[in-house]
Structure 1
């Protein structure tokens, strides 16, 4: 089973323009993310896929693997599908470019899920993390997921799901962490399907997979992600890097 990591990297960002090229302890955010994926030792190859020559040059000039995206895409899945179409690979793991502090443990859990899936019931796998604070649960920037008894995703939403009409019934609120692993064929199917209403409404690409009947295995982790979506997040990341370097 050949497993690769692909890091989709757009230069433009609505909330924080050029965030992937911001300095983080002497290296760009995207370069630190790429190096963290390589250092994890979990992948046969690691690639950055980008629409930007600036990002491409930053990775290649530092000895990394980068692929120029040939056209504009609606989502990260589309960009990755274009890049891996001609590659000989079984499992593709999408690592977010704005999360430079990659934790190997949850990635190992995702990879193990595919290794144990002898009947190939899993089309995709992703991560979820329990949240308990009301502000986090109600924050539309935190995507929530509900699952069945086998931890296959039923729905993702920016809204509070399930709605707490009755309290104290044992409901747990799970935040979706945006690391995906795909079977190559599921990714290529996504690439050819048009967007439907649920994805268009919520602006969540994972809903396209559900709308077309793909099965997404959700793996619970205790390891939260550290993403960089705002200048304030970048300052927090710089502080965390300093703390890690002092250890």
Structure 2
């Protein structure tokens, strides 16, 4: 499939102002995310920028940035706006929306996000990883997903519901949703034209808009959820991990 990776980014953040430009061992976070996306070798990688400062940083290292309206309501809207600005946008069948706060995302995991789209009934694909601790289970910042695995598969599932609460109840694995989406282009266009749904507004999770509208979200499993950056403590943790990786010549 002819795929395009778009990373939406803007400076406005309540918990961590100017988050995309946060320095992580000599590189802005958004640059590190872009570099991980490039290593996946899927195709073109674009940063959908909501602020000129982000665009300037990306272009200074040879990356591609497209300026979008900073008032757009969501990352998905920003991704679609950037897509529509491309002269050859009709050539792309699949658009990967990669969150700009995942500097530790594995290129292999990005590739994995495409797998559910091999099923023609899936509109949107995403990633899930097993929850490893009670803290992860109970943190409202960690989005959980209740899913139904396909017959004879332990790696592909259909998402039934997303929540900030631990779901489903009872014994068994709980799944951590990882913030990456692979859209069929028609599904992305449909999604951004839908109004915000009641469950989306209640849980503050835009993927519920798709489920409430009857769209199908397919999930592929990965072994560990990459650490996202939502707080200053997360940023310190990521800096420590990347510093150690550099020391060991991992990245």
User: What TM-score do the two structures reach when normalised by structure 1?
Assistant: 0.91
Give the alignment of 1:181-196 within 5 angstroms: 181-196=182-197
- Which string of whole-angstrom CA distances, capped at 9 and with x for unpartnered residues, describes residues 138-159 of structure 1? 2211111011232111100111
1:95 aligned partner: 98
- Aligned counterpart for 1:153 among listed residues 145, 150, 159: 159
Distance 1:161 1:108 in 2: 27
**Residue of structure 1 in register with 2:16 after alignment:** 16
Task: Find the residue that maps to 1:214 and give its secondary structure.
Answer: coil
Per the TM alignment, residue 121 of structure 1 is displaced from its structure 2 partner at its CA by: 0.9
Mapped partners of 1:73, 1:159: distance in 2:
28
Q: Distance in 1 between matches of 2:36 and 2:111?
A: 14
User: Structure 2: 5+ residue runs without aligned partners?
Assistant: 151-156
Are 2:10 and 2:70, in contact at CA under 8 Å, matched by a contact in 1? Answer: no
Distance 2:226 2:93 in 1: 25
> CA RMSD for the aligned pairs?
1.5
Contact 1:106 1:223 in 2 (8 A): no
Question: Structure 2-normalised TM-score?
Answer: 0.90
Aligned to 1:77: 76
How far apart are the structure 1 equivalents of 2:79 and 2:236? 29
Asked if 2 retains the 8 angstrom alpha-carbon contact of 1:103 and 1:223, the reply is no
Listed as ranges, the matches of 1:10-49 within 5 Å are 10-41=10-41, 43-49=42-48
Within 2, Cα distance between the matches of 1:96 and 1:24?
Answer: 16
- Secondary structure of the residue aligned to 1:172 is coil
Inter-partner Cα distance in structure 1 for 2:245 and 2:133 = 27
Query: How far, CA to CA, are the matches of 1:132 and 1:60 in structure 2?
Result: 38
Distance 1:160 1:14 in 2: 24
1:1-247 matches, within 5 Å, as 1-41=1-41, 43-85=42-84, 87=89, 88-114=91-117, 116-117=118-119, 120-150=120-150, 151-164=157-170, 170-247=171-248
Change (3 A) 1:149 1:242: closer
1:102 to partner: Cα distance: 2.2
Matched residues, number: 238
Question: What secondary structure is seen at the aligned counterpart in 2 of 1:186?
Answer: helix
Structure 1 CA distance for aligned equivalents of residues 94 and 105 of structure 2: 18
Shift of 1:135: 2.5
3-state SS of the aligned residue for 1:155?
A: strand
Q: CA deviation at 1:71?
A: 5.0
Unaligned residue ranges in structure 1 (runs of 5+) = 165-169
Between the aligned partners of 2:40 and 2:199, the Cα distance in structure 1 is 35
Q: How far off is 1:200 after superposition?
A: 0.7
Distance 1:153 1:232 in 2: 30
